[in-house]
Amino acid sequence: MTIAPILRSVTVKAPPATAFARFTQQMARWWPASHHVGGEPFHEIVIEPHPEGRWFERDKAGVEVQWGKVLAWDPPGRVLLGWQLTSDFKFDPAFVTELEIRFDPDGTGTRVTLEHRNLERYGDAAEKMRAMLDSGWPGIVADFAAFADQE
Amino acid sequence: MANKQTMRKVPAASALAALGDPMRCAIFEQLARKPSPVGALAERLPVTRSAVSQHLRVLKEAGLVTDMADGTRRIYRLDPRGIGAVRDWLDKHWTKALDAFQAWSDAQDEEEDRR
């Protein structure tokens, strides 16, 4: 079973090196504030700038919740991240979907292209999820609802 | 085997199209909150029962919701087999995130230009 990757792009005025730095190192400044995974709003979002570096949010009290990791760190043109949040928005070190962000020159600005792929891996999670729901475990839909509510 | 469950391949495009309608999106979010029968959805939303039924049919065809009998009623809930729901959430999320990045980054440049 395969499922189409998500492909999105925007063009920003800043050149690639600046866009790359802003995207990866100032994420908490622009990331939609309601889209936090931990119990509390994030204070910082950190991508450790090297392969295998962690990608995580940290709240004001210092509590960290990991989202994924760096798979390839190629400034200023590209970063490949592992998005490791399952369909119930829990970090799972054994679950990895690839999120590639490219920064290509576009005039004096940058075309930022994001591709989230391997989404079929959610299929395996969905199967597990169904098994859990069938056995009466109620948490998944409630977690999903909590996320939908934050929209 | 007659009752063998068949794996459905849900085209992502239809899941996205199904949620493109604001009322269907609202119904989907209600069901994410709580599995419900048609009547309860119609009470919570500004549409008729028959309109809710129509929307549910589209959501079901798109693999986003599923239903089961409960006495004489049918209870609708998100389809846990469908990854359409996850993909749709991510698609909306990345659209929102990239738009936010663009707005913020461009605002930084404008600020620098003014200095």
Determine the pLDDT at residue A133. Answer: 42
Chain B residues close to A31, C-beta within 8 Å: 97, 100
Indicate the SS3 state at residue B91: helix
How much is the average pLDDT of B29-35? 78
Task: Report the chain A residue with the minimal C-alpha distance to residue B31.
Answer: A145
A63 DSSP 8-state letter:
-
| Residue (of A60, A110, A68) closest to A86 by Cα position | A68
Query: CA gyration radius for chain A?
Result: 17
Chain A residue nearest residue B110, CA to CA? A13
Question: Quick check: pTM over 0.80?
Answer: no
Across residues B3-15, what is the average pLDDT? 41
Q: Tell if the CB–CB gap between A32 and B96 is shorter than 8 Å.
A: yes
pLDDT value of residue B17: 65
- Secondary structure element (H or E) that encloses residue B68, with its range: strand B65-70
Peptide bond between residue A76 and the one before it cis (omega within 30 degrees of 0): yes
Q: What is the pLDDT of residues A78-117, one digit of tens each?
A: 999 999 987 767 798 988 999 999 999 999 999 999 999 8
Give the pLDDT score at B37. Answer: 95
Classify A104 as helix, strand or coil: strand
Amino acid identity, position B58: V
Nearest residue on chain B to A31, alpha-carbon basis: B97
Residue-level pLDDT at B55: 94
> Which structure tokens are listed for B93?
């999320």
Distance (Å) from the alpha carbon of B49 to chain A's nearest alpha carbon: 23
State whether B101 and A32 contact (CB < 8 Å): no
CB contact under 8 A, B89 and A148: yes
Buried b (16+ CB within 10 A) or exposed e, B56-69: bebbbebbbbbbee
Which pLDDT value is given to residue A118?
86
A125 backbone φψ class: left, alpha, beta (φ>0; ψ -120 to 50): alpha
Lowest mean pLDDT among A52-66, A136-150, B69-83: A136-150
The complex scores an ipTM of 0.78
- End-to-end Cα distance, chain B: 73
Interval A67-85 mean pLDDT? 97
Distance CA B31, CA B110 (A): 43
User: Do B21 and B68 form a contact (C-beta atoms < 8 A)?
Assistant: no
CB atoms within 10 A of CB A69: 19
Q: Is the pLDDT of residue A4 over 70?
A: yes
Which range has highest mean pLDDT (A6-15, A31-40, A114-123, B7-16)?
A6-15
Residue B115: its pLDDT value, please?
Answer: 76
Percent of chain A with pLDDT over 90: 58
What integer pLDDT is reported at residue B35 of this predicted model? 87
Return d(Cα B16, Cα B85) in angstroms, integer.
Answer: 9
